[in-house]
Amino acid sequence: MEQREFIVEAEAAGQRIDRFLSGEDTGLSRSALQGLVAEGHVLCNGKSIAKSLKLKAGDTILLEIPDAKPIEAVPQDIPLDIVYEDDHLLVVNKPKGMVVHPAPGNPDGTLVNALLWHCKGSLSGIGGEIRPGIVHRIDKDTSGLLVVAKDDATHIGLSQQMAVHSVERAYQTVVYGGFAQDEGFVEANLGRSKTDRKKMAVYPAGEPHTKYAYTGYKVLERFGGFTLLECRLKTGRTHQIRVHMASIRHPVAGDPVYGPHNCITRLHGQCLHAKTLGFIHPITGEHLRFDSELPEYFTHFIASLRRGTV
């Protein structure tokens, strides 16, 4: 069980406990926090409290986060688009709509379930039972290339390359609006939103509980009201491209979270594809680089933009 301690500052005095905690970096939704209060997992100055308690400056809050109930990842015979495979790793072209690993709400039908079937269980164990072999992730509705480790040595080697930003990762995306310049970058820290725990947000450098993030972009094609970009990542934060582009008023087309309220629903999520992936093979030392074709949903959307029929 994880325990987190918070001190109530003067500006938070008078708040209800659930509202106070929803403004802290807990990673939990307000409803989940309310449930923990009701179950006695939140203490104020060492005592159990009611959810209606109004806090005072200087109160010490102890939040107990129970261990998540394990989700059993089972092998499932789900087709995979495997771009490359050897004894140590494989590169997969993930389709739009597929979740990478099991989680509450998505217990099966994930990339991990498919990998367990394909690899007969021979995946690195560093990611744990729920994320075997998973070195990095892309969002459910983002398509494109992922590298998966079959053994721990490969997993460690790939993770080290990720940590020093030496892995080549290039995405293509269609965003709202036009660009006067042909290329640029967004350099802004990212962290969990203080108002919506399911979202990420941009914060000033040095803000607690945030991480540095850098996205470079280049214009590939301009349309009326939209632009096709290539985005290259130095870092790989949650929702990075989606949040960074929205922060400069160029949200990703089809993004229901960071885009406009009248998002393009026929895209079924953000128009974002992990197109290029390059790295040094941790075991053989060979430089590997892969490039995937844009999926059908993406090419159809570009064709409609060229015709001016969006």
Domains of the chain: 2-65 (3.10.290.10), 69-164 (3.30.2350.10), 166-282+295-309 (3.30.2350.10)
Residue 81 is predicted with a pLDDT of: 97
Closest residue by Cα to residue 61 from 104, 109, 22: 22
143-149 and 272-280 strand pairing: parallel
Q: How far apart are CA 202 and CA 135, in angstroms?
A: 25
**Which residues of the chain fall short of a pLDDT of 50?**
none
CB atoms under 10 Å from CB of 290, counted, come to 16
Q: How far apart are CA 82 and CA 90, in angstroms?
A: 7
3-state secondary structure of 280: strand
What type of residue is 80? L
The one catalytic residue among 59, 139, 151, 255: 139
Q: How far apart are CA 115 and CA 130, in angstroms?
A: 12
Residue 27 is predicted with a pLDDT of: 67
Does the pTM of the predicted model rise above 0.85? Answer: no
Q: How far apart are CA 168 and CA 288, in angstroms?
A: 10
What is the distance between the terminal CA atoms of the chain, rounded to a whole angstrom? Answer: 50
Residue 68 is predicted with a pLDDT of: 56
139 is a catalytic site residue: yes
Residue 274 is predicted with a pLDDT of: 98
